[in-house]
Amino acid sequence: MEKQLGKNERIKSIDKALDLLEFLSVNEQETGITEISKNLHLGLSTVHRILFTLKSRGYVIQNLNTRKYRLGIKLFTLGYAVQNIKHLVEITKPYLRQLSQSTNETANLAILEGKEVIYLAKAESSEVLTTNIKVGTILPAHCTALGKVLLAFISDQEFDILYKADESLPSLTSKSISSLEGLKKNLKKVKEQGCAVDREEYKVGINCFAVPVINNEDIAIMAISITGPASRFTIDEMEKVKGKLMTISKEISNQL
């Protein structure tokens, strides 16, 4: 299930902090509290509290001589991380198109973020009947082949941090894995085989087959998959694309 939040669920204090960062980003000069307060229509005490928090986290820097503020190095670090993801997407896109054209199904790229997977790129099937998963979609990792293949390659310690012993798992369909014990058993098999299958676990009528992309530090940093209607993309068809996916996964890894 995709997350959709209304405007009334936005956190005002975070909105104000982001407004402040955006204001500093377009202002080339160091800026004082009074000027920030005036331009953003915020009280001086509010601006001071936001700046104090951002400064403590490295998102802004204060000039001790002028007492004015500018953006901090932490934002550069975050920007670098975003650029790195963008680089991964650009490397992978030609391979996704190749996969989609050779299988006539939709090819996807996703990363693991906590207990969820985020779809970063896809190459859509030319068939009339498609899966219609949009880039940016966020889904429970345990309900998708992409998520399961990424969960299978994290450490036991990381897994225990994500999933508590008595935790129940949300189900998207009647075929979704609903217990932690069932998930662990499935992930053990996934790691042994180096691939994961989703047979209508995310959505009724949709099947998916995924493999991880491993970097030179032996970490599964993302995963690629083929997705299609269950009536067309059957287990037999999944077996046929397995070799293609694994070969392309290795080719992508060699470029990292």
Pair 222, 124 in one domain: yes
**Where does 31-163 have alpha helices with state H?**
33-40, 44-56, 73-103, 145-151, 156-162
pLDDT in tens, 221-247: 999 999 999 999 999 999 999 999 999
Pair 87, 203 in one domain: yes
pTM for the predicted model, two decimal places: 0.70
pLDDT in tens, 31-73: 999 999 999 999 999 999 999 999 998 889 998 889 999 988 7
Start-to-end CA span in the chain (Å): 32
CATH of the domain at 127: 3.30.450.40
Query: By residue range, what is the domain housing residue 214?
Result: 81-254
Structural domain count, the chain: 2
> d(Cα 253, Cα 234) in Å, to the nearest integer?
27
Distances (CA, A) of 139 to 65, 120, 218, 256: 49, 12, 25, 26
List, in order, residues 6 or more apart from 87 with CB less than 8 Å away. none
